[in-house]
Amino acid sequence: MTERKPEQRVVDPEYLILEAPRERKFITGSQAFAEAIKRANVDIAIAYPITPQSETMHLVGDLYAQGYVKDYYRAEEEYGAMSAIAGAVRGGARAFSATSGPGLLRGLEAIVSWPGHRRPAVLGVMTRVVNAPLSIQPDNVEISYLLNCGMIVLHAENQQDVFDFTLAGFVISEKVDVYIPVAVCTEGFFVTHAKGYVDLPPEDMKLPPRDPYKAPVPPTDCEIPPARIQRDAPVQKSNFMSYLIHAVWQQEIWSANNRARKWIKHYLGGLVEVVNPDAEVFIVASGCAAAQGREAQRYAEMEGLNVGLVKVKSIRPFPAQEIREVLKKAKAVIVPEHNIVGWLAKEVKAVIPNSGIVVDGPRVYGGMTLPVELIMEKIYEAFGVKKAKKTVV
Amino acid sequence: MGLEYVRISPGFEKYMPRDYVDLVKFGQFGREVDVMQLGQFKELVEEHPMCAGCYMAYFIRIFYAALPKPEDTIVLGTAGCARLALSQAAVPFIYGNYGDTNAVASGLKRALSIRFPDKDKDVVVIAGDGGLMDIGFGMTMHSWFRGEKFTTIMVDNEVYGNTGGQESGMSPKGVQLKMAPLGKKFDKINAVQLAIDAGCVYVAKISPTNPKKIAKVVRRAIFAARKFGPTFIHAYTSCNIEYSIPTREVLADARKREKEDFKFFEWMTDEVKEYLEEIERKEKERKKQEVKS
């Protein structure tokens, strides 16, 4: 086998993420994931096919063939893939995997144990329908299953976000005061298979390798003490000590999740992005719905309606304070979503004192697109504007 | 580093727990022990909450004494009885989710190979019949298909002991257990044949009646996994509770099964055979030298 070693030099994460010159490329969301992995100094990537995620892991496989990623294999199924990720990260490696919809749910038992085991890693989640009847189309209900496990959940609006969130994801995940995994979610097809402009730092630069000893919980590699982990195994018993140990440990996971806020602000410019903060009516949205919300905000402005946008980049930790502050004087809040349950609307309602101002929807699901017109209808309703319905023949 | 990490920093001996000091001074780290000298050295596992007369606990005790390099060994387990003892040994232990051992071990072994390409880091899975042949079946098989370089040991008590005695795929046909109220309706899975067909390079089946033999099999499986690929040991470790075996008859039961369906069986590839013979020849020579000097 020939030595595969692309010429890349290690640079400071601050430089690579925040300062390095960037060049604009027109690429798909899958390519944006791969471009981030190329620069992330990943040791091992573990793949399992599921549409629409597969293309990303094909591209990561190419990176392995070119020597950018040190090890790579196609796992037996998602539970196996996500368990192997846990093993690799525990062994001190930097690891990446990605999945979609039913694959995410199949891997969920393993994934939701990553935070508790303090396993820093990045997981790409390219959303698709999970519930019957079967469909491979985008629908992001699966994100709601990730919200209570302690991991950091970022939701990318477009290809640029995918790149930025993934690359910064590794750095945030491995911060000593965080040290929990990061999910980078985005809508399958709408983002993964469509092209957008992405500003990329040079490809001959990469993050420093993972230092597994810079950690609140050490790796399992027989290189650091102590040799005897426990004389007794209290966590496995039904007694007060086991309840207490579990409780304080989980409190620490959620504190770690909370401590990620400052790093998300530092590397990604905040947990939210606000357009027109003095608006009367707000659209609060994440992922692809934020892109459509952005368009609706622009239309409304053209029509002289004072509408703002809050794009939620980080679902966990949730920007409760930021949202409460922006919505203080809002008279209505529209939450467009790509799922039937409205998980984001529930989150927003839970953090403001006057949840009655939240409009449930518009929601599309099962793979439907989210036309800007649907959001506009809600905006007109909020302002009491009567519009004759246009019939397109 | 290996050995270095178990050593106590100078000046700290008096602050470390007695148990830890004994492990370093009189334990197995950095030296090979003879299992026949159990009781004459500080063992890696001593206390455990397993049932009185548990044959699995006995097997685990011998397993730890047999480790060729405990300071560079990581053990993985899953839900079940074995992990009650495994988690209290002086060897790093990973307890993941249900039946995930062979997937976690795959990732772990690969990470260690990337980070320490010139070192032997032994990864050993010890899980039950339920963990490896039922809930974790796919991951067990695929770790073998992929040729992952670690050892899998199935401690087969033919029942889900820890959850209260339910039928497993390894329970013998006809046995009445919980969740098999009319008796088990299909045969014990032929795990050994599956292991051979799936690409294990060393496979053994044993009813652990002879500690020397257990130690030999464990060491062979670990040595072969370092160099060639997956290795598998199928050990009969009866559940005296669920199968109502009186404590004093546990060994007799193991001997009986050894004559029946747990006859000693060992299979390995030609290159493994050659490699092990070479190692064992050198070991013998070294021991001769030691006796002489």
CA angle (B174, B176, B177) in 5-degree steps: 130
**Interchain CB distance below 8 Å, B103 and A89:** no
Alpha-carbon gap: A85 to the closest alpha carbon of chain B (Å): 6
User: What CA–CA distance (Å, rounded) separates A341 from A365?
Assistant: 9
Residue B17: per-residue pLDDT = 85
Average pLDDT over residues B224-247: 96
Residue A276: per-residue pLDDT = 98
Q: Which of A79, A221, A224 sits opposite B115 (nearest CB)?
A: A221
Instruction: Tell me whether A5 touches chain B (CB under 8 Å).
Output: no
Average pLDDT over residues A154-177: 98
Which range among A85-94, A302-311, B92-101, B216-225 shows the weakest confidence by mean pLDDT?
B92-101
User: What CA–CA distance (Å, rounded) separates A352 from B118?
Assistant: 57
Mean pLDDT (chain A) is 94
Chain B partners of A231 at a C-beta cutoff of 8 Å? 19, 47, 88
Chain B partners of A225 at a C-beta cutoff of 8 Å? 5-6
Among A310, A301, A285, A270, which Cα is nearest to A370's? A285
Instruction: Tell me whether A47 touches chain B (CB under 8 Å).
Output: no
Average pLDDT over residues A55-68: 97
Residue A389: per-residue pLDDT = 66
Q: Which of B23, B100, B107 sits opposite A228 (nearest CB)?
A: B23
Checking if the pLDDT of B293 tops 90, the result is no
Asked whether this chain's domains A9-206 and A272-383 adopt the same fold, the reply is: yes
What is the radius of gyration, based on Cα positions, of chain B?
19
User: What CA–CA distance (Å, rounded) separates A131 from B165?
Assistant: 35
User: What CA–CA distance (Å, rounded) separates A286 from A177?
Assistant: 26
Alpha-carbon gap: A40 to the closest alpha carbon of chain B (Å): 16
User: What CA–CA distance (Å, rounded) separates A254 from A316?
Assistant: 10
Q: Which are the contacts of B112, defined by CB distance < 8 A and separation ≥ 6? A: A91, A92, A221, B74, B119, B121, B123
A272-383: in CATH 3.40.630.30: no
ipTM higher than threshold 0.85: yes
Alpha-carbon gap: B43 to the closest alpha carbon of chain A (Å): 12
Which range among A146-155, A268-277, B40-49 shows the weakest confidence by mean pLDDT?
B40-49
Residue A1: per-residue pLDDT = 44
Q: Which domains does chain B have, with CATH numbers?
A: 1-30 (no CATH), 46-266 (3.40.50.970)
Superfamily of structural domain A9-206 = Thiamin diphosphate (ThDP)-binding fold, Pyr/PP domains (3.40.50.970)
**Interchain CB distance below 8 Å, A230 and B84:** no
pLDDT in tens, B80-104: 899 989 988 989 999 889 999 999 9
User: What CA–CA distance (Å, rounded) separates B8 from A372?
Assistant: 67
**Interchain CB distance below 8 Å, A88 and B88:** no
Average pLDDT over residues B146-150: 98
Checking if the pLDDT of A265 tops 80, the result is yes
Q: Which of B91, B96, B142 sits opposite A86 (nearest CB)?
A: B96
Per residue, the 3-state secondary structure of A130-197, as one string, reads CCCCCCCCCCCHHHHHHCCCCCEEEECCCHHHHHHHHHHHHHHHCCCCCCCCEEEEEECCCCCCCEEE
What is the distance of C-alpha A372 from the center of its chain? 24
Among B147, B142, B89, which Cα is nearest to B113's? B147
Instruction: Tell me whether A119 touches chain B (CB under 8 Å).
Output: no
Q: How many CB atoms lie within 10 A of CB B131?
A: 29
Chain A partners of B83 at a C-beta cutoff of 8 Å? 236
**Interchain CB distance below 8 Å, A87 and B5:** no
Pairing of strands B73-77, B93-95: parallel
Checking if the pLDDT of B142 tops 50, the result is yes
* Predicted TM-score (pTM) above 0.90: yes
Q: Which are the contacts of A203, defined by CB distance < 8 A and separation ≥ 6? A: A8, A35, A38, A39
Residue B47: per-residue pLDDT = 83
Alpha-carbon gap: A74 to the closest alpha carbon of chain B (Å): 10
User: What CA–CA distance (Å, rounded) separates B103 from B196?
Assistant: 19
**Interchain CB distance below 8 Å, B111 and A87:** yes
Give me the residue spans of the domains in chain A. Answer: 9-206, 272-383
Residue A234: band (very low, low, confident or very high) from pLDDT cuts 50, 70, 90? low
pLDDT in tens, A354-380: 999 999 889 999 989 999 999 999 999
Among A194, A356, A385, A358, which Cα is nearest to A291's? A194
Residue A139: band (very low, low, confident or very high) from pLDDT cuts 50, 70, 90? very high
What CA–CA distances, in Å, run from A37 to A34, A64, A118?
5, 10, 21
Eight-state DSSP code of residue A10 = E
